[in-house]
Each structure stands twice: as C-alpha cells, then as structure tokens.
C-alpha cells in the first residue's frame, strides 16, 4: 500500500509526514511525530482526550484521518506553553489542582484555550457545555471549571 | 484503502460511480467510528471537504443552502441562518460535543440514516430538501425521502448529497426541535420531535409540520399530528390533541434506553413542548 505524503503546519511549524489512508491524526501525532501530549482515551469521539485545533476549530484527532491534514493549521497541547513559560491556563490548573491522573488534562487545556480565544468572558454554564465532550474520571470537574473561570478573569484583567 | 480529495462535484461523482466500495467522508464522526471498529472496510475514502461549493452556507431566493461539508459549529455561528431556522440550527447544535460539532454535518447526519439522528426531524419539519448529484445529473429530494431504513438511504449508485436547502421562512412562522436524553449532553436521542408552524393574520395556525425521530426505523412526518394544530390557535386543547396524536403515531422499540410505553409518552410530551416553542417564535414572543 502506498503511503500518503502530507505537508501541514503543526504549532506554527511546517511538518511533513507519510501516513496510511486509515491512520488517524492522533495515530500520526503520537506514533510518527512523537507528540504524545494528545491522549487516546476512547478512540470514538467520546472522551476528548485527543482534542486538537484544526484551522481554528476544536476537533477530536481520533476522528480525523491524518490524510485530511494536508495544508491545514493544527494546534496541539505541545504548542501551548513557550518553553518553560506555561500558558495561563496551565498555571491555573496547577494552582487549582485541576488534575489528578492527568490523562484528560491536555485535551481539556486545548479545548479551554479555544473557548477563551472565542469568548473571553464565558459564563460557568458556557464553560461546562463547551467542555462537555472532555471526560475526567478523577476531579469531579469542579476544579477544572474554576481554573478556567479564574484564568478567563485574569486574562481579561491583563488585557 | 485509498484516500481521494476531489475538488469538484463531478470528480466526486465519477470516483463514487467507478467504485461501489468507496465511501464518502464529510465530518467523519460516524464514518471514522465505524472504520475503526472494523464495521466497514471501504476500498476508497472520498473526502468531500475540498469541494469549495460544498463548504459554504448561502442565501438562495430567500431560503438557505447549506453545503454538505459545513460543520454544525459553523451553522451555530451564522446569526442570520439561526434567526430564520432556530430549530434546525439547535438540532445540529445538539449533535455530540463541541469537538463533534466542529466536524459533524447535516448531510452526514442524514445519510448515516440513524433513526435517532437529531437534525433529521428538525429538517423534515422545516420542509428541507437535499440536493443530490449523480451520474445522471442533479435532483432535489425531500429530506424525509432519503432514509429508507436503519443505515439505508434512497441514494443510487454514484450519488451524493451536495447540499441541504431550507425554504424561505414565511412571516409569522417558527420552528423548534427537542429531544429526550437521560443526560443533558452527549447522548443518543430516546425520542426527538421537530415542529414547524405558520400563523395567519388572526393568529390561527394555517400550516404545520410535525416530525418524530427515534420512534421508528426512519423519521415520521405526521399529518395526523399536523391536523391537530391546523385551524386552531395553538391553545391547550389543541396541544393536548397533538400530544395524543404524537403518542399514537410513535412506533418505537423497547431497548435499554427506553420502553415502548415510555417512548410513546415522551413523544407526546416533547411534541407539546416543541409546539409551544415554535408557536412563541411564530408569534415573535421569543
Ligand atoms: C461522540 C459522538 C456523539 C454523537 N452524538 C450525536 C448526537 O447527539 N446526535 C446525533 O444525531 N448524532 C450524534 N453522533 C453521530 C454523528 O456525529 C452525526 O450523525 C453527524 O452528523 C455525522 O456527520 P458527519 O459529517 O461526521 O458524517 P460522516 O461520518 O462523514 O458520514 C456519515 C455517513 O454518511 C455518508 N455521507 C457523508 N456525507 C455524505 C454526502 N454528502 N452524501 C452522501 N453520503 C454521505 C458517509 O459515507 C457515512 O456513511 C455522535 C457521534 C459521536 C462520535
Ligand atoms: S480518544 Fe478521541 S475522543 Fe476519546
Ligand atoms: S485527572 Fe484523571 S481523568 Fe481527569
């Protein structure tokens, strides 16, 4: 089977890879590109642990074929902090202890960042609905929601 | 498996007609799940998202044409479309999570032909048509005539849906869609109900369309439900008659998500509630 050659942009860097037609973007990120921040919790679109942003839209990378990425702009958890400089959301997640095992955390951070870029002042209800596709078996969600609300308030203050 | 990215409808039709084992890929939120589960093994995946005309929402003779590759999130962000057909947009906004809505399309929801597809009763109530392209040209088909059974459609060899058309919305009209699920998000409809009404200048209902989902193998467009509303002012007696008719029309199955008796009851309750919302919208109260 001949592989498909894809040129795409990941976290601002032009990236090339070869993939099979049936490989997902998540497979390629984790297994070919060594970007293991995106997690596979279910592989069926239910848990959100694989969340990435493609051309500005939040999607599950487990439900997107790697071959679809040609010419797109992809953002993953690896692009969130700048070196040692954490993104404000990452910092707040630490302060609020909004994670335990951490499997859901990359997906939730990617999803929350996308929300705050679209809506800097979300209500708690809006945050909860936006993150409804990100499952967490540990925290009970409350600390996650508080961390996102607190980040939003801080970022509005700083802006 | 091959992966194709046609850039025109003609190319997509040619690819599809040439290969009976090929599958179309819109948002992939049904297709990828089935592919990964090993339920399907297509020879070729044809991604329709590079076909420019299928990626846009446009106004057409006072109505709307929604390309078959438009994700539901984009519909939800389209203020003018939402103002005209809030029920249809809300039904698409119920599909899965934010992540799923970033990919899921109306046409994919329709062609997947699940009895529980949320946008389908809303589209049927709105009088939507699907534009189909195939080897013999294009045709327009009422949305309710696309699904023919669980997972089955009336599309012929080499045919695909290129867009969904929502008609111009008359004055004093409104639509609504409600579903019942055990949670508030991320679940499959146990019952769904789409309703559309138009009022005359006296405030009486002159036209109504009532569609029920998840209570039969395919969506039910119920004339007997519509008849309970037409000619009335949408008062409580009419809504009670609507609820009774909806319960009678529902032909559900028993499964882990609901019994027959429960689903029939809920069909009536949802019809009544959805009708109240559609009426309020038609009156301009909301
Ligand atoms: C976690 C999760 C939650 C979900 N929740 C819901 C929900 O709440 N309500 C609901 O209704 N659905 C739900 N779904 C199912 C799915 O998201 C929807 O049915 C969606 O609308 C499918 O659209 P798509 O563009 O992703 O379709 P795809 O997966 O791309 O395609 C679906 C099917 O239709 C065919 N097809 C696609 N486009 C065309 C076309 N233009 N012409 C002809 N055939 C075509 C494909 O070949 C395939 O067989 C959920 C799915 C997941 C994974
Ligand atoms: S791994 Fe993609 S949603 Fe769970
Ligand atoms: S921290 Fe363990 S799943 Fe969320």
How far, CA to CA in Å, does A65 sit from each of A1, A39, B40, B280?
16, 16, 15, 43
- Topology (CATH) of A88-158: DNA polymerase; domain 1 (1.10.150)
| Burial (CB count within 10 angstroms: exposed 0-12, middle 13-18, buried 19+), residue A11 | middle
What are the residue boundaries of the structural domains of chain B, listed by start? 54-166, 173-283
Residues B206, B212, B213, B217, CA torsion sign: negative
Nearest residue on chain B to A130, alpha-carbon basis: B98
Average pLDDT over residues B90-100: 97
Residue B257: predicted pLDDT = 86
Residue A88: how many CB atoms within 10 A of its CB?
16
CA angle B251, B254, B259 (to 5 degrees): 90
How far, CA to CA in Å, does B91 sit from each of A20, A39, B84?
35, 29, 14
* Of the candidates B270, B235, B234, the residue with the CA atom closest to the CA atom of residue B249: B270
Provide the 8-state DSSP code for A32: I
Residue A1: predicted pLDDT = 58
- Contact flag A20-B29 (C-beta cutoff 8 Å): no
Average pLDDT over residues A79-90: 95
What are the residue boundaries of the structural domains of chain A, listed by start? 4-79, 88-158
- Contact flag B47-A43 (C-beta cutoff 8 Å): no
Mean predicted lDDT score pLDDT of chain A: 97
Select A4-79's CATH number: 3.40.50.12780, 3.10.20.30, 1.10.599.10, 3.40.50.300.
3.10.20.30
Q: What is the ipTM of this complex?
A: 0.97
More confident residue, B259 or B183: B259
Nearest residue on chain B to A50, alpha-carbon basis: B99
Nearest-Cα distance to chain A for B26, in Å, is 10
SS3 content of chain A, % helix, strand, coil (to 5): 40, 20, 40
Average pLDDT over residues A127-133: 97
**A133 Cα nearest atom in ligand 2:** 3
The CA-based diameter of chain B, rounded to the nearest angstrom, is 60
Residue B182: predicted pLDDT = 84
Nearest-Cα distance to chain A for B23, in Å, is 12
Residue B188: predicted pLDDT = 86
Q: pLDDT tier at A158 (50, 70, 90 boundaries)?
A: confident
How far, CA to CA in Å, does B176 sit from each of A43, A88, A115, B156?
33, 40, 27, 31
More confident residue, A1 or B36: B36
Report domain B173-283's class. alpha beta
- Topology (CATH) of B54-166: 3.30.465
What's the predicted TM-score (pTM) here? Answer: 0.97
Cβ of residue A45 lying under 6 Å from some atom of ligand 2: yes
């Amino acid at each position: 089977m001949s592989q498909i050659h894809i040129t795409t942009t990941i976290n601002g860097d032009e990236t090339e890879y070869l993939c099979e037609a049936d490989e997902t973007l998540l497979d390629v990120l984790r297994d070919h590109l060594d970007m293991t921040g995106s997690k596979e919790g279910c592989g069926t679109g239910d848990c959100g642990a694989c969340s990435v942003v493609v051309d500005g839209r939040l999607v599950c990378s487990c439900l997107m074929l790697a071959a679809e990425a040609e010419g797109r702009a992809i953002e993953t958890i690896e692009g969130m902090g700048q070196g040692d400089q954490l993104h404000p959301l990452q910092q707040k997640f630490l302060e609020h202890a909004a994670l335990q095992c951490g499997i859901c955390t990359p997906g939730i951070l990617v999803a929350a960042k996308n929300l705050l870029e679209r809506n800097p002042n979300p209500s708690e209800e809006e945050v909860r609905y936006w993150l409804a596709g990100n499952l967490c078996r540990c925290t009970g969600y409350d600390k996650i929601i508080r961390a996102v609300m607190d980040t939003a308030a801080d970022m509005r203050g700083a802006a | 498996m091959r992966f194709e990215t046609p850039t025109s409808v003609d190319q997509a039709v040619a690819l599809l007609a040439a290969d009976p084992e090929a599958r179309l890929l819109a948002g992939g939120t049904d297709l990828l799940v089935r592919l990964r589960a090993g339920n399907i093994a297509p020879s070729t995946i044809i991604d329709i998202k590079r076909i420019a005309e299928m990626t846009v929402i446009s106004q057409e003779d006072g109505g709307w044409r929604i390309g078959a590759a438009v994700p539901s999130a984009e519909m939800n962000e389209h203020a003018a479309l939402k103002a005209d057909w809030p029920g249809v947009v809300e039904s698409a906004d119920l599909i899965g999570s934010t992540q799923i809505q970033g990919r899921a399309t109306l046409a994919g929801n329709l062609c997947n032909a699940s009895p529980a597809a949320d946008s389908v009763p809303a589209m049927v109530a709105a009088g939507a048509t699907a534009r189909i392209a195939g080897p013999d040209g294009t045709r327009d088909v009422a949305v309710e005539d696309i699904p023919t059974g669980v997972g089955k459609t009336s599309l012929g060899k080499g045919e695909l849906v290129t867009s969904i058309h929502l008609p111009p919305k008359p004055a004093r009209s409104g639509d609504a869609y409600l579903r019942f699920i055990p949670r508030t998000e991320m679940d499959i409809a146990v019952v769904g109900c789409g309703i559309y009404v138009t009022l005359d200048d006296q405030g009486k209902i002159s036209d109504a369309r009532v569609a029920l989902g998840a209570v039969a193998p395919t969506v039910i467009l119920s004339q007997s439900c519509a008849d309970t509303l037409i000619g009335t002012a949408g008062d409580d007696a009419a809504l009670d008659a609507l609820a009774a008719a909806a319960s009678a029309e529902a032909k559900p199955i028993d499964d882990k998500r609901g019994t027959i008796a429960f689903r029939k009851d809920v069909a009536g309750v949802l019809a009544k509630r959805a009708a109240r919302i559609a009426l309020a919208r038609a009156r301009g109260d909301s």
